[in-house]
Structure 1
Amino acid sequence: MITVRRTTLTAAVAALALTCGCGAADMTRQASPFAGAQGAKTVTLSVQSWVGAQADVAVAQYLLEHELGYRVDTVQVDEVPAWDALSQGRVDAILEDWGHPEQEKRYVQDKGTIAPGGDLGVSGHIGWFVPTYLAKQHPDITDWRNLDKYAPLFRTAESGGKGQLLDGSPSYVTNDKALVKNLKLDYQVVFAGSEAAQITQIKQFAKEKKPFLTYWYAPQWLFEKVPMTEVRLPPYREGCDADAAKVACAYPRTPLQKYLNAEFSKSGGRAAAFLKKFKWTTQDQNEVSLMIADQKTAPDQAAKKWVDSHPAVWRKWLS
């Protein structure tokens, strides 16, 4: 993510997504008819398919409804189409964006149809990871230059005789195919299909103490269940990922951002003001994410538990 990883959040949706990194099809047609409605006390939020973003929306929705008296509709939209929906007023806000400079230039700078909503307070980072138990057995495996030596360990039925690099959804922003090619690595990128499917595979590998190499990202609650160690890729330098086909460097660390529809930003009243002030920590987000994805708590109940125990944090967002 980087120059990167959700319809009302029912427990079933959360379980299916298990969830940052992103969804299936362009779901903009699900957009609420109330988005941007003049005078309507309704807010429509874009909800991405990873659990960190679901946690953001769950808490924001709970407070908008229970403290500010708004009706909140949520719409599942993939990362890039979400920008289109936001620009068109189909949704009012995106609460967790991992960096889309082309869309930012088009809609924020050139068209002025989207307005920055400020930092989420969470920094995101994508990388390649191996299980810590494997890194302890083979300490040099955490240097990308040694990966080919270990490629046989990572072969699967899907990787065509090469080592498998496990990715999540093809809709996530990922440089992995270019990295494998440009670093001349004997690996095949294999997409699990979604964050939920990727998590299932990672947990199964870990249960059996098998080797795996995976694209993964922080913040993410799974690190608490499956300790993983990052593989050092060539250092990130400003602009090294400007040409997607030529990327040969690590992913940057990205302060995650919020974006609002420009009209909503100006005329959205207390809801818009609240969303601009919404800012929490990685620890806060992981606390809610863990409840949703691992403990199978319904998102609204996970949000309530967090709200009940952190009044000093969220009351500042309402002032």
Structure 2
Amino acid sequence: MRRSGWIRAAALAGCAMLVLAGCAADITPRVAAPGPPERTECGTLTLANLPWVGYEANLAVVGYLAENRLDCTVVVKDLTAEEAWAQVAAGEVDAILENWGREALKKRYIDEERTAVEHGMTGNKGVVGWYVTPWLVEQYPGITNWKNLNDYAYLFRTPTSDGKGALLGGDPSYETNDRALIRNLKLNFTVSLTGSEEKLIEAFREAERNRQAAIGYFYAPQWFLAEVNLVHVKLPPYTPGCDSDPEKVACDYQPYDLDKIANRTFAESGNPAAEMIKNFQWTNADQNEVARYLTVDKLSRDEAAKKWLDANPDVWQDWLPVA
């Protein structure tokens, strides 16, 4: 072969190899970017119900929409917060609709076991602390400063408080720092549990009505504050980490941006109820309105939910999954 012919043949061979290489590149499988999970039917939706009426307001509205807009069969389980977290992790409950902190449970079930996930914010701002009845503040203006509480402890004595002031509490399952605060701030008080949120509210109501002294653990959002404007006692201010050791805590409660918790498999399943629950978000005023329907107006969950939903379509329409 002449040199020019050899060069021409070599060039053609090289071109052929490039073409083949290009073809090989073209037929290499491409991996698609992961998209959202495929939409499924709702089926059975199991929700926790925790022992305070603000939570029940969330449950009423979310449950009503799940049944009437997503065709879910809603199952409700009455649980404490600790029980609800354990059942979410086990897949026996799909979601908790209002969570207050619970950092130890988040560490266990979300970070370590990876069986649960944070599932969006509720939009509610949680304020926990010690509160007194309004008439007391008018009569004793200094009573809202924790440094003065021992001077007024005698006002709160009861037949069962052993000569100390009784600090009212609600449901025994509530996670509080009250006993540690009393001990570490050296206050002449003792915790006196009423047994439930309803009984705690009634104790404050009766105290204000009869001008009796009452101090206790309370929180917002709570519809009752519109009826009796309880006054927040100023404890040493909260700073991040001041409550990290439950035995040594000597500061006020952390303010909370309340969130929702879901079983990880449920959250990632494509179930339309999972998407709606994640989107669910409203204000303290919204929650208090539904809670008042439930407690004062004595409406059923469905009646209370429908009344609020009918009046607020601009709020809840954005919660529903896009078709």
Name the TM tier (shorter chain). 0.7 to 0.9
> How far did residue 43 of structure 1 move?
0.4
**Counterparts of residues 77-156 of structure 1 (less than 5 Å):** 77-156=79-158
1:174: which partner in 2? 176
Which residue in the other structure is 1:230 paired with?
Answer: 232
Q: How far apart, CA to CA, are the structure 2 residues paired with 1:124 and 1:40? A: 31
8 Å Cα contact 2:42-2:71 kept in structure 1: no
Rounded Cα–Cα distance in structure 2 between residues aligned with 1:74 and 1:304: 18
Give 3-state SS (helix, strand or coil) of 1:172's partner: coil
1:50 to 27, 47, 52: 52
Aligned counterpart, 2:217: 215
Secondary structure, aligned partner of 2:228: coil
Paired residue secondary structure (2:179): helix
Map Cα deviations across residues 133-165 of structure 1 (whole Å, 9 max, x no partner). 111111111100000111111111121111110
2:313 aligns with 311
Q: Which of residues 256, 264, 267 in structure 1 aligns to 2:266? A: 264
Q: Does structure 1 conserve the Cα–Cα contact (< 8 Å) formed by 2:94 and 2:262?
A: yes
Q: Which amino acid aligns with 2:186?
A: K
| 5+ residue gaps, structure 1 | 1-37
Q: Structure 1 residues 40 and 306 mapped into 2: Cα distance closer, same or farther (>3 Å)?
A: closer
Question: What TM-score comes out, normalization by structure 2 length?
Answer: 0.85
> How do 1:239-254 and structure 2 match up within 5 A?
239-254=241-256
Amino acid at match of 1:278: F
Deviation at 1:268, TM superposition (A): 4.3
2:42–2:272: 8 Å Cα contact kept in structure 1?
no
The alpha-carbon deviation at position 39 of structure 1 amounts to 6.2
Task: Give, in whole Å, the separation in 1 of the partners of 2:259 and 2:45.
Answer: 18
* Larger Rg belongs to: 2
State the 1:192 CA deviation: 0.5
Aligned to 2:18: none
Give the match for residue 192 of structure 1: 194
For the residue of structure 2 that corresponds to 1:257, the secondary structure is strand
Distance 2:70 2:42 in 1: 13
What's 1:298 paired with? Answer: 300
Higher deviation after alignment, 226-235 or 200-209:
200-209
Task: For 2:219 and 2:245, locate their aligned partners in 1 and report how far apart those are by CA, in whole Å.
Answer: 22
Letter in 2 for 1:211: A
Secondary structure at the aligned position of 1:145 is classed as: helix
TM norm structure 1: 0.87
CA distance, structure 2, for counterparts of residue 295 and residue 221 of structure 1: 12
CA–CA separation in structure 2 for the residues paired with 1:208 and 1:268 = 54
Instruction: Give the structure 2 partner of residue 274 of structure 1.
Output: 276
The answer to whether the 8 A contact 2:133-2:207 is kept is no
Query: Residue 35 of structure 2 aligns with which residue?
Result: none
Offset of residue 40 of structure 1:
6.1
| Amino acid paired to 2:155 | L
What CA distance in whole angstroms lies between the structure 2 residues aligned with 1:55 and 1:128?
23
CA distance in structure 1 between the partners assigned to 2:160 and 2:197 by the alignment: 18
Letter in 1 for 2:80: D
Shift of 1:226: 1.2
Give the % identical residues: 44
Counterparts of 1:138 and 1:101 in 2: how far apart (Å)? Answer: 37
Unaligned runs of 5+ residues in structure 2 are 1-39
What count of residue pairs does the alignment treat as equivalent?
282
The alignment partner of 1:244 has SS state of coil
Determine the structure 1 residue equivalent to 2:36: none
Cα distance in 1 for residues equivalent to 2:301 and 2:288: 13
